[in-house]
Chain A
Amino acid sequence: MPQSFAGLVEDDQDNGLFRVNRRAFIDPAVMEEEKRTVFGQSWLYVGHESELPEPGSFVRREVAWRPVIMVRDEAGTVRILFDTCPHRGNTVCKEAAGKTKRFQCFYHGWTFNTRGELISVPDSAGYGPGFDKKNFPLATPPRVETYRGLVFMSLKADIVDLVTYFGRAKEYLDLILNHSEDVEIVPGQQSYSMRANWKLLVENSIDGYHAMMTHERYFIDYMEDLGGSSKDWESIVAPIPGNTGIELDSGHAVIENPIGKLPMSANAAQHLGKVRAELEAKFGREYTERMVGFSRNLFIFPNLIFVQNFRTVRTFYPASPDYLKVNAWALLPKGEPAAIRRLRHDNFISFLGPGGFGTPDDVEALENCQRGFAVREMEWSDISRGMKRPPTSSDEIQMRAFWRRWYQCLYPSYAPQMERPVPAQVAAVPNRRAA
């Protein structure tokens, strides 16, 4: 009954007020509907082609609660196979990653090739003439597409193609991917959890407002310890040119701000200078400045985040309304010297991930939000910030972009209105690092 989800979001653009009913974070019925609509009707990130270096390479993943195998078949094509035996259910992939010619279900021994076709059945004499192995391949998602090495699947057969789905987000994804021609997912997946609703992590991933407050220990203490200035990242919160929150199509959103110092800015300066010169030769000065002169977090609806500063790819799912599982990876340039690679790792893990100076405090904040949601007397969360000014990354337009699309998924008769046309300077002027 879609009707029962009416009223979870209130969008009053005339008065600059936007709020979300906290039932959205705690009601199991909401989560069941999210599985069907939000996750069931979107493109979902599975992995990166670089994780499958050779024919037969595979990784096991969980995507939308389903065990899947991402595998490069004998011919080199990347495929997604659902990991459940068509016989009676067992998963056929025992290892988390590896290389194989076939997947044998150990339960009764049915065996599949890397295209998912059933190639042998023990004691096949036991089956009658109507039994044809051709009719028992591993199932596959209705849609699989790849964009620049990023592999996505969708459970919705008639979903628009991936690039159409990205819409204007493609431009920002390219700004991130264009940093390096040849990239790879580095070993070392960050697999962690939060005792919090998954939508809190959507908000948190594109939330400049919390940065200097929650992450003072990183943006002030650690920056000072690195010999930098505590003012270095004020560009996140100051309403200066280039500090922008942007509502893209279909729930996607991006935040950008003039980049401050990162742990690797100083100790890899020479290398980064060389990289920049190469980018300028390829893309020109203006586009390069737009690429590297900004910090940028890109959100692809419903659950995919790119954090450009750290080259992070991060995705997450709810296990229950109050518990989410995150997986994150570093997508780094291939072929750089080992010392530079380690600096890039340092750069990433100093802030992001279970042992960083950033993420654990986000976990703490989000888990406390979830605790707070037990107070049913406090019915609403306010997400109005920046509705009446040109939005910055420390405003909340990017979250409203998510919530509008999310609400439309749960309550299809809602017709979301985008907040305002994109300010002209965002689309037209690459170099917004005005003095």
Chain B
Amino acid sequence: MHDINREVIETFLYREADLLDRWQLNEWLTLFTRDAYYQVPPLDARELPPEQALYLVDDNYERLNSRIKQLLKGNAHAESPVSRTRRAVTNVMFALQPNGEVQVRANFIIHRVRRELLDVYMGRYDHILVQTDGKLQFRMRKAVLDLEALRPQGKVSIII
């Protein structure tokens, strides 16, 4: 077991962002436990659970796995060819829970460029990390967008 400290958490988040910016999605998927979710809550009901609101993304591991395969295959046309992205993850805060989970909050700003159009996604991460075999993994990877509408972004075709 690693000690959970700021350096460990930040290194995890920075490495994750780097994998996504480099489209190393298979390696990125190894950061998830099998019971993990990748979620993007709706823009107008950000605090409701997925049983009560229509999320933008509510992937369990199987659907996330399918998403990654599609993105790498080339028939996810919105990301084929893939866009350029650059992620900034800041204001990291974390709290160790009695059950061993680590609650992580952080700010994110993602710039996405494709066909000379620039889209910005910003918001807050609300993750739950766990340690498995001495390494950190996501049990919950939640990206809460600050946008009021996906205009002009139009889509969440990259992992945010």
Binding site for B on A (CB under 8 A): 96-97, 186-195, 214, 216-217, 221-222, 225-226, 323, 325, 329-330, 338-339, 341-342, 345-346, 348-350, 353-355, 357, 359-361, 363-365, 367
In the complex, chain B residues 41-84 whose Cβ is within 8 Å of any chain A Cβ: 41-45, 48, 50-58, 62-63, 65-67, 69-70, 73, 75-79
Taking a contact as CB atoms under 8 Å apart, the answer to whether A355 and B151 are in contact is no
Taking a contact as CB atoms under 8 Å apart, the answer to whether A357 and B154 are in contact is no
Q: From B58, B62, B67, give the contact of A345 (CB < 8 A).
A: B58
Taking a contact as CB atoms under 8 Å apart, the answer to whether A355 and B56 are in contact is yes
Q: Given A359-B155, A360-B157, A217 and B70 touching (CB < 8 A)?
A: yes
- For the complex of A and B, 3 pairs with smallest distance between CB atoms: A188-B54, A188-B42, A191-B149
Contacts of A330 in B (CB 8 A): 54
Taking a contact as CB atoms under 8 Å apart, the answer to whether B54 and A349 are in contact is yes
> Interface residue count for B (Cβ, 8 Å)?
40
Please measure, in the bound complex, the distance between the C-alpha atom of A359 and the C-alpha atom of B50, giving whole angstroms: 20
Contacts of A194 in B (CB 8 A): 154
Taking a contact as CB atoms under 8 Å apart, the answer to whether B149 and A360 are in contact is no
| Nearest CB in chain A to that of B148: its residue | A191
Taking a contact as CB atoms under 8 Å apart, the answer to whether A363 and B51 are in contact is no
| Nearest CB in chain B to that of A327: its residue | B149
Q: Given A187-B48, A342-B51, A348-B54, A225 and B148 touching (CB < 8 A)?
A: no
Contacts of A325 in B (CB 8 A): 149, 151
Taking a contact as CB atoms under 8 Å apart, the answer to whether B63 and A221 are in contact is no
Contacts of B41 in A (CB 8 A): 188
Q: From B40, B44, B75, B150, give the contact of A96 (CB < 8 A).
A: B44
Taking a contact as CB atoms under 8 Å apart, the answer to whether B75 and A323 are in contact is no
Q: Is B24 on the interface with A (CB-CB < 8 A)?
A: no
Query: What are 24 residue pairs bridging A and B, where the CB atoms are less than 8 Å apart in the complex?
Result: A186-B52, A187-B53, A188-B42, A190-B56, A191-B148, A192-B150, A192-B155, A193-B149, A195-B154, A214-B77, A217-B70, A221-B70, A221-B75, A345-B51, A346-B63, A349-B55, A354-B153, A354-B156, A355-B57, A355-B155, A360-B78, A360-B79, A363-B154, A364-B157
Contacts of B117 in A (CB 8 A): 195
Q: Is B152 on the interface with A (CB-CB < 8 A)?
A: yes
Taking a contact as CB atoms under 8 Å apart, the answer to whether A192 and B157 are in contact is no
Please measure, in the bound complex, the distance between the C-alpha atom of A131 and the C-alpha atom of B76, giving whole angstroms: 62
Taking a contact as CB atoms under 8 Å apart, the answer to whether A189 and B44 are in contact is yes
Q: From B48, B56, B65, B67, give the contact of A357 (CB < 8 A).
A: B67
Binding site for A on B (CB under 8 A): 40-45, 48, 50-58, 62-63, 65-67, 69-70, 73, 75-79, 117, 148-157
Taking a contact as CB atoms under 8 Å apart, the answer to whether A350 and B42 are in contact is no
Minimum Cβ distance to chain B for residue A269 (Å): 17
Taking a contact as CB atoms under 8 Å apart, the answer to whether B66 and A222 are in contact is yes
Minimum Cβ distance to chain A for residue B121 (Å): 11
Taking a contact as CB atoms under 8 Å apart, the answer to whether B58 and A361 are in contact is no
Taking a contact as CB atoms under 8 Å apart, the answer to whether B78 and A191 are in contact is no
Please measure, in the bound complex, the distance between the C-alpha atom of A345 and the C-alpha atom of B41, giving whole angstroms: 12
Q: From A97, A225, A341, give the contact of B62 (CB < 8 A).
A: A225
Q: Given A191-B148, A192-B153, A221-B75, A345 and B50 touching (CB < 8 A)?
A: yes
Please measure, in the bound complex, the distance between the C-alpha atom of A329 and the C-alpha atom of B43, giving whole angstroms: 13
Q: From B43, B75, B152, give the contact of A216 (CB < 8 A).
A: B75
Given A222-B66, A329-B54, A361-B78, 7 other A-B contacts at CB below 8 A? A193-B151, A225-B66, A325-B151, A345-B53, A348-B54, A350-B63, A360-B78
Contacts of A342 in B (CB 8 A): 50-51, 58
Q: From B43, B54, B65, give the contact of A186 (CB < 8 A).
A: B54
Taking a contact as CB atoms under 8 Å apart, the answer to whether A360 and B62 are in contact is no
Q: From A195, A338, A367, give the contact of B51 (CB < 8 A).
A: A338
Please measure, in the bound complex, the distance between the C-alpha atom of A150 and the C-alpha atom of B22, giving whole angstroms: 46
| Nearest CB in chain B to that of A343: its residue | B51
Minimum Cβ distance to chain B for residue A86 (Å): 28
Taking a contact as CB atoms under 8 Å apart, the answer to whether A217 and B73 are in contact is yes
Q: From A187, A216, A225, give the contact of B45 (CB < 8 A).
A: A187
Contacts of A221 in B (CB 8 A): 66, 69-70, 73, 75
Minimum Cβ distance to chain A for residue B144 (Å): 13
Taking a contact as CB atoms under 8 Å apart, the answer to whether A225 and B53 are in contact is no
Taking a contact as CB atoms under 8 Å apart, the answer to whether B48 and A192 are in contact is no
Minimum Cβ distance to chain B for residue A430 (Å): 31
Taking a contact as CB atoms under 8 Å apart, the answer to whether B54 and A345 are in contact is yes
Please measure, in the bound complex, the distance between the C-alpha atom of A361 and the C-alpha atom of B156, giving whole angstroms: 11
Taking a contact as CB atoms under 8 Å apart, the answer to whether B148 and A217 are in contact is no
Contacts of B55 in A (CB 8 A): 188, 345, 349, 355
Minimum Cβ distance to chain A for residue B38 (Å): 10
Q: Given A342-B50, A355-B56, A191 and B70 touching (CB < 8 A)?
A: no
Contacts of B151 in A (CB 8 A): 191-193, 325
| Nearest CB in chain A to that of B54: its residue | A188
Most central of B69, B151, B154 by chain A CB within 10 Å? B154
Q: Given A354-B154, A361-B78, A191 and B54 touching (CB < 8 A)?
A: no
Taking a contact as CB atoms under 8 Å apart, the answer to whether B57 and A349 are in contact is yes
Contacts of A217 in B (CB 8 A): 70, 73, 75-76
Q: From A193, A323, A365, give the contact of B77 (CB < 8 A).
A: A365
